[in-house]
Chains A and B, each alone.
Chain A
Amino acid sequence: MLKIKDLHAGVEGNEILNGINLEVNPGEVHAIMGPNGSGKSTLASVIAGKEEFEVTQGIVLLNGEDLEDVSPEERAHKGVFMSFQYPVEIPGVTVTNFMKTAINESRKARGEKEMPANVMLKRIRQKSELLDIDRKFLSRSLNEGFSGGEKKRNEIFQMAMLEPKLAILDETDSGLDIDALRIVANGVNKLRGKDNAIIIITHYQRLLEYIVPDFVHVLNEGKIVKSGDKDLALQLDEKGYDWLKNEPVA
């Protein structure tokens, strides 16, 4: 599904990613861990197509297609979703209205008709129940005055609504208390399937207790320095990142 080869990228001449190689197949869950400043969020932004990051070398392929000239919205239409670490506020636009617009814009781009209102409402009902979201929440302005936990839950709600092929969760666990973490993780687990893939970006092993990854990668100074299975996350939790910093590149 996603193939990243020798990816170098940065912002205003500062290289942040230093040759990333990563392959994600349908049905897989990958966790990307690493210390602050290792390039985790940059990687997520580059995959999503954020313009301020410049790709200087290497290639990102989605189902074999080079994403270089593909706009962020086109990537979204192709099934790429990113859960933001810091979701933005859009005053006056309700969660429902925002979702309706997002879903129908993607459908339009794919040459499909708008989603009928009853289907939309049904999906909203199902997905909000899945994430234990109060219906009143849906008529509030997007992220305006939301608590940290509400913002993150709202991100996963959007993911559930949009049913992406590739979901990147950027530090979704930060700011969540243990109950919210469990709800969010449950939601994500229910969205796992053989046709879609998930990349989880996180500092801590905690979230991975609930969403068990197939692969764990450790990012340091813009490179993947170690890859392994879920046990690698446990090791990291025990030893910290320092023991890996001096390891030769995996």
Chain B
Amino acid sequence: MAYTEEELKKELETKEYEYGFYTDIESDTFPKGLNEDIVRGISKKKEEPEWMTEWRLESFRIWKEMEEPEWANINYKKPEFQDISYYSAPNKKPKYESLDEVDPELLDTFKRLGIPIEEQKKLAGVAVDIVMDSVSVATTFKKTLAERGIIFCSMAEAIKEHPELVKKYIGSVVPQKDNFYAALNSAVFSDGSFCYIPKGVRCPMELSTYFRINQAGTGQFERTLVIADEGSYVSYLEGCTAPSRDENQLHAAVVELIALDNSEIKYSTVQNWYPGNKEGKGGVFNFVTKRGICEKNAKISWTQVETGSAITWKYPSCILKGDNSIGEFYSIAVTNNYQQADTGTKMIHLGKNTRSTIISKGISAGKSQNSYRGLVQVHSRASNARNFSQCDSLLMGNKCGAHTFPYIEVKNKTAQIEHEATTSKIGEDQIFYCNQRGIDTEKAIALIVNGFSKEVLNKLPMEFAVEAQKLLEISLEGSVG
């Protein structure tokens, strides 16, 4: 017969993580624990220059003196930082020119994830820099990009090949001492992606990276740096899936975006780390610092679809330093079962005529807690700054929570700030209406959720939008029928 809210809740709980499998690839893993020797060891393993080693050590010393932040609306057992191994790399290390040379088991993993890399090479011009447990295994399309002077490589490679760029920009937006997790990342980051678009160049394809935590008990510390030189444009995609595991996995990434005068960076994320099982056991702890800086007339647009992780702590932000610069944040955060998300953005208006837009869609189901936390700050020099914020929450069932924490600090009278917020619930009436039109409950929820999220989904690049829709369905639908 038809469905009740009680049944809906049950259905939502029973959807198991689809990507919960484990790839058996030999790994080269460091002993657990963190001290200066480990930091040096990581740096040595990666054959880094002295300045990088020193930068890491400095970060480590800062981190040692810091305390874990407790202000977020999340509740969890703090990770035991000395019980984590800080380095793990796939064993068969040589870089491949073609995918044929890549470990077939790894390729199989990606196939099961629904990421057909072979096809992606041809499709829509997506260059894929695959990060498997921290080390880039394959990079494609590099040559096409190189012809335009675009650098798209692993962070490790960038440190060796383009030290002047890395040295100049790393830590320039997210300083080592910025916060506890950023400091930790700065000390132990394993790898990540580096991207540089030269002056006046429009990157001809979407750049994309897939992340995947694989080794049991290995924290993942990605470091991403994207630099758009004057008048350039780049669209960067980042997507993650992680295998099912019982103990919590720590993920503390740092992403820095630098948009120089008249440039534009579009950064899109689909995040699907393992959220834990339906009793709330396991799952990834995701503590991410993402921040971009806009110079004159520059624009940074963050779009994120967050469906995974047991704990999400993430605030992609924009520092609107240059006059007339623009910051945007479009977010969908889904929590189910015992997931907790405290996510949002910071828009710091420093320049004149700066504009920012925040559209946040939170969807909570099960016993999850979903919080939006956003800061809009207008400094005294930032005349005619404008911000529009919209925070919508959708609830499913009676045991989940949606919270909104908007902070607004304005020091210039000419600023215009708008904030709108709504909370709604998927009702039995909506479901019955769909049922009556021949749409089953599972599909009805997908339809309603997609409708609710549309403004954000529309901001994603086409191929990513399809993937994101699929993810929303996986995250929320029960195994009906």
Residues of chain A at the chain B interface (Cβ within 8 Å): 48-52, 69-73, 75-77, 81-82, 84, 87-88, 90-93, 97-98, 101-103, 105-106, 109, 141-142, 158, 162
Contact = CB atoms under 8 A, between A and B. Distances in A.
B451 A92 contact: yes
Contacts of A98: 437, 447
Interface string B1-17: 11110000000000000
A43 to B, nearest CB: 15
B427 interface: yes
B464 to A, nearest CB: 18
A202 to B, nearest CB: 19
Interface string B277-303: 000000000000000000000000000
B94 interface: no
A11 to B, nearest CB: 13
Contacts, number: 88
Interface of B: 1-4, 424, 427-430, 432-441, 443, 447-448, 450-455
B443 A93 contact: no
Nearest to B439: A105
A106 B424 CA distance: 28
A109 B440 CA distance: 10
B453 A92 contact: yes
A49 B438 contact: no
Given A51-B4, A101-B447, A73 B453 contact: no
A124 to B, nearest CB: 15
Contacts of B453: 92
Given A71-B1, A92-B454, A82 B439 contact: no
Contacts of B440: 71, 73, 105
Given A49-B1, A71-B435, 8 more contacts: A49-B435, A73-B435, A73-B439, A73-B440, A92-B454, A97-B447, A102-B434, A102-B438
B1 A69 contact: yes
> Which are the 7 A-B pairs with shortest beta-carbon distances?
A92-B451, A93-B451, A76-B438, A51-B2, A72-B435, A102-B437, A106-B438
Contacts of B4: 51-52
A73 to B, nearest CB: 5
A158 B433 contact: no
B465 to A, nearest CB: 14
Given A92-B452, A93-B450, A50 B439 contact: no
